[in-house]
Structure 1
Amino acid sequence: MTPALTFFIGLALLVLFGWYFATDQGPRKRLLAMTLMLLLVIFSIGTIWPPQKKIALGLDIQGGTSFLIRLVAGDKPITKGMLDQAVEVIRKRVDVFGVSEPIISPVGSDRILVQIPGLDTAKIQEARDQLSRVAKLEFRLVYTDNGERLQKIDAGKEVIPPEFRIETYKMQREGEKPVEERLLVKKKADLSGERVSNAGASYEKDGWVVHLRFDAEGAKQFGNITAANVHHRFAIVLDGVIQSAPVIQDAIYGGDAQITGRFTEDEARGLASVLENPLQTPVSIEEERSVSPTLGLDSIKASILAGLVGLAITLVCVAVYYKIPGLVANIALIINLILLVGAMTMFHFVLTLPGIAGIILTIGLSVDANVLIYERLREEMALGKSLKIALNTAYEKAFSSIFDANVTTLITAAILFWQATGPVRGFAIALTLGILASL
């Protein structure tokens, strides 16, 4: 479904819900309830179908790649703030790959576990580079004499100024061999990449370039530096390597800059991503492994078969024991499952093994609620009450027990989601959505 269609369907459902709650008991309210339920089921099926394309599978089902990343301590020890910043930065970098539900969680005090489901072999190296790159961007002025001082240094007539050092810039144009150029560049950055507020990549006449936008203070500093050094070179240094060293043609006060180089599309987009989300602390990949599905194809089929058989036995037992009310309960149970899977698909939740466990637990809770209601109904019918009165009384008496049980389970699920990480959160989400759907 298109976003526009989803919006209008949601709006229509919202109007019907309002109409339903504003209507008194009677045939109209029952008709509205039936219409709402039918529309929700159709909408959920449309969201789910086709399931092999719409339902996202987690790492434990479809496999992927796992990285254990360690923060490298420098002069200062690793703090919780450094770890949290690294987790957030890595999460944003992983989003570039467009994968569903990557697992990114801190391990101990200085490590981060990253699990990326469905990552093909071609992108593993790209992921490795994205995760480990610090992306320390600096703008440094080149010595302002067009290389004359460097020539004298090479001839032994001059010494290197204390605030400068010699670095090599490798320049390559398309179809030509790379040309190395030695530059006398400042040791200390005149402007750092911390002032970059936004970065993006685009294709221009000279190839792919990375555009930068500075924040207000960075734009002011950049403007002052360029104004004071017109016709002099300005080196753009990334992770200690000069990417380009253009000549400042005029003062630039707009807060925009660009990095040109020998970029492919993936490299330019990746560089823009890491520049927008720089790591404050260097990291190293301590462990990397490909995670094969813990459920192979045969195991997945066997699990689906086992689940369907278990569901069928539950439906048959309820129908046999409670007769017509049992059939109604079975229909409600199937509708509950459709709504649950539809909600998980619509909100892009990933189906993992703990999530499947949460769905199975939801089925048990729904059956338990129906048992409470129908046992109450039997008691009321045994007292000689009519079906309508007995049904209303059974719902009223059973509702408090069902509500208390579901609220207790929701509190537990909320604590799990709050304190747990990774797959356990998937369990908490599936359980919460299942309870809400059953209510």
Structure 2
Amino acid sequence: ENHPELLLDRVDEGDSFNVIAAMSDQTRRDIAEYALQQNLTTLRNRVNELGVSEPLVQRQGSNRIVVELPGIQDTAEAKRILGKVANLEFRLVANLEAAPSEKQRFEYRSEDRAGMSEWLERDVIITGERVSNAQANFDQNGRPIVSISLDGEGGTLMSRTTRNNVKRRMGVLFIERKYRTRYETDAEGNEVIVKTPYDEKKLLTAPVIQEALGAQFQISGLDSPMEASELALMLRAGALAAPISFVEERTVGPSLGAENIRLGVKSVQIGLALVALFMVLYYRVFGLAAVIALSCNLVLLVAVMSVLGATLTLPGIAGIVLTVGMAVDANVLIFSRIREEVNNGLSPQMAIHAGFERAVATILDANFTTLIVALILYAVGTGPVKGFAVTLSVGIVTSMFTAILGTRALVNLVYGGRRVKSLAIGGVKPAS
């Protein structure tokens, strides 16, 4: 009754009987689905920790995950980090008089303590799943350490245990999933490789508890700064719910990407040319000012993206194309407002002033709402979606700057301080 997901079957054997418990098919599917979703989240976290520009991690079918890492140099190292299953366990060092059933023996992991071991209690205080943040660092002697921050429940458990066990020792176990490889012969007589997973548990350190620990502390006993960085990465990204194996690997050369980038840049050029042609033909001098401001907007956008170290990808180019349209849209709003003011009888100078002043609020509202959407995309999106969101966000800011300030500066350069009877802008009614 307490475990409805289990199917119980009684097998009689003479005077005794055995009860066989098995999971239902639905329970197995639920567990497999959970493991896949958890691994998907963990892999995304690990890829983000690698610092790859616009990666792609997505599900394929019922039991596969596709990972694309643009610009990665060391594929073997990336595979090792993505597939590594590592965790921590914190246990108290067992008392000498403890029964064998209450303790386990673990060897030290570091080379300088090779062959040494400690007896730890079987009860686990907390595991790495309670770690909310982990950063690799160095202690005062220059040895690598990992600074740990626990979540609320983990901090409570650690504080309660250490408070009641001051002056006792606490062991930190490093758990790593490894594989034993053996060769077998299948039914057709072919030799196949069979990998059997197992968890290797080694002791990192077993310091004396000097005082009650809270949610933040440090662990030592690591061999190198790289190992400390990897452990911190594993703890931050979370543990894999199930081991993964690499079934296919492809390396795509830069030629295909270069062709896509070339076509993307060409689309930006064509779009800019068509927009410039329309603006100049319809809005005349004002349209020319808008085209110059739009060109400055693109230069400014690329400059900011370069400062941020962004990579030019297809989603980024799509964001640039969208930015071009949004920047022109702001100019169209301003010019339409100026035209309305002229048709309402205002002088050219007053119409220019009123057009910019009254259109700014509308432009800010429209761009601010779009910026909110871009920030949400960046917060919840992954890979190419993040790249598009970054380009769009930067483009919104630069387009508002060039459309409001840049275009106005150019218009003032042409019409400022002059007595003009008419404006070279399309759609103005002739004076009666």
What's the TM-score once normalised by structure 1's chain length? 0.57
Other-structure match for 1:127 = 78
Using the TM superposition, give the Cα deviation of residue 279 of structure 1 relative to its aligned residue in structure 2, in angstroms: 1.8
Q: Structure 1 394/93 Cα, relative in aligned 2: closer, same or farther at 3 Å?
A: closer
Counterpart Cα distance in 2 of 1:136 and 1:74: 24
Counterpart Cα distance in 2 of 1:212 and 1:394: 57
Secondary structure of the corresponding residue to residue 282 of structure 1: coil
Q: Structure 1 402/197 Cα, relative in aligned 2: closer, same or farther at 3 Å?
A: closer
Counterpart Cα distance in 2 of 1:264 and 1:363: 49
Whether 1:172 aligns to 2:105 is no
Looking at both structures, which has the greater relative contact order when contacts are Cα pairs under 8 Å and sequence separation is at least 6? 1
Using the TM superposition, give the Cα deviation of residue 191 of structure 1 relative to its aligned residue in structure 2, in angstroms: 4.5
Other-structure match for 2:14 = none
Counterpart Cα distance in 1 of 2:28 and 2:364: 54
Q: Structure 1 388/234 Cα, relative in aligned 2: closer, same or farther at 3 Å?
A: closer
2:235 to 261, 270, 275: 275
Q: Structure 1 226/236 Cα, relative in aligned 2: closer, same or farther at 3 Å?
A: farther
Deviations 1:244-277 (A, max 9, x none): 375655655345453314x222112111232344
2:31 to 69, 72, 77: 77
Q: Structure 2 stretches of 5 or more lacking a match?
A: 1-26, 177-198, 404-432
Asked whether the 8 Å contact 1:168–1:181 carries over to 2, the reply is yes
Aligned residues: 344
Other-structure match for 1:253 = 212
Using the TM superposition, give the Cα deviation of residue 409 of structure 1 relative to its aligned residue in structure 2, in angstroms: 7.4
Asked whether the 8 Å contact 2:89–2:124 carries over to 1, the reply is yes
Other-structure match for 1:208 = 144
Computed over aligned residues only, the root mean square deviation of the Cα atoms, in angstroms, reads 5.1
Asked whether the 8 Å contact 2:146–2:220 carries over to 1, the reply is yes
Deviations 1:84-121 (A, max 9, x none): 76566545544543444444556678765544433222
Amino acid corresponding to residue 50 of structure 2 in structure 1: F
Asked whether the 8 Å contact 2:88–2:172 carries over to 1, the reply is no
1:313-392 matches, within 5 Å, as 314-315=275-276, 318-319=279-280, 322-341=283-302, 344=305, 351-367=312-328, 370=331, 386-388=347-349, 391=352
Deviations 1:55-77 (A, max 9, x none): xxxxxxxxxxxxxxxxxx98971
Using the TM superposition, give the Cα deviation of residue 355 of structure 1 relative to its aligned residue in structure 2, in angstroms: 2.4
Using the TM superposition, give the Cα deviation of residue 430 of structure 1 relative to its aligned residue in structure 2, in angstroms: 3.8
Other-structure match for 1:97 = 50
Deviations 1:133-173 (A, max 9, x none): 33321234566449xx9xxxxxxxxxx93444565556522
Secondary structure of the corresponding residue to residue 77 of structure 1: helix
Asked whether the 8 Å contact 1:198–1:213 carries over to 2, the reply is yes
1:118 to 71, 77, 97: 71
1:184-203 matches, within 5 Å, as 186-196=121-131, 199=134, 200-202=136-138
Q: Structure 1 236/257 Cα, relative in aligned 2: closer, same or farther at 3 Å?
A: farther
**Which deviates more from structure 2 when the two are superposed, residues 405-414 or residues 277-286?**
405-414
Counterpart Cα distance in 1 of 2:172 and 2:380: 46
Identity over aligned pairs, percent: 35
Using the TM superposition, give the Cα deviation of residue 392 of structure 1 relative to its aligned residue in structure 2, in angstroms: 6.5
User: Structure 1 or 2: larger helix share?
Assistant: 1
Other-structure match for 2:162 = 222
Q: Structure 1 79/382 Cα, relative in aligned 2: closer, same or farther at 3 Å?
A: same
Asked whether the 8 Å contact 2:87–2:128 carries over to 1, the reply is yes
Asked whether the 8 Å contact 1:373–1:394 carries over to 2, the reply is yes
What's the TM-score once normalised by structure 2's chain length? 0.57
Amino acid corresponding to residue 217 of structure 1 in structure 2: L
Secondary structure of the corresponding residue to residue 269 of structure 1: helix
Counterpart Cα distance in 2 of 1:143 and 1:399: 71
Asked whether the 8 Å contact 2:40–2:65 carries over to 1, the reply is yes
Q: Structure 1 265/125 Cα, relative in aligned 2: closer, same or farther at 3 Å?
A: farther
Using the TM superposition, give the Cα deviation of residue 366 of structure 1 relative to its aligned residue in structure 2, in angstroms: 3.9
Secondary structure of the corresponding residue to residue 125 of structure 1: helix
Counterpart Cα distance in 2 of 1:145 and 1:405: 72
Q: Structure 1 stretches of 5 or more lacking a match?
A: 1-72, 150-159
Amino acid corresponding to residue 159 of structure 2 in structure 1: A
Q: Structure 1 83/349 Cα, relative in aligned 2: closer, same or farther at 3 Å?
A: farther
Q: Structure 1 307/219 Cα, relative in aligned 2: closer, same or farther at 3 Å?
A: same
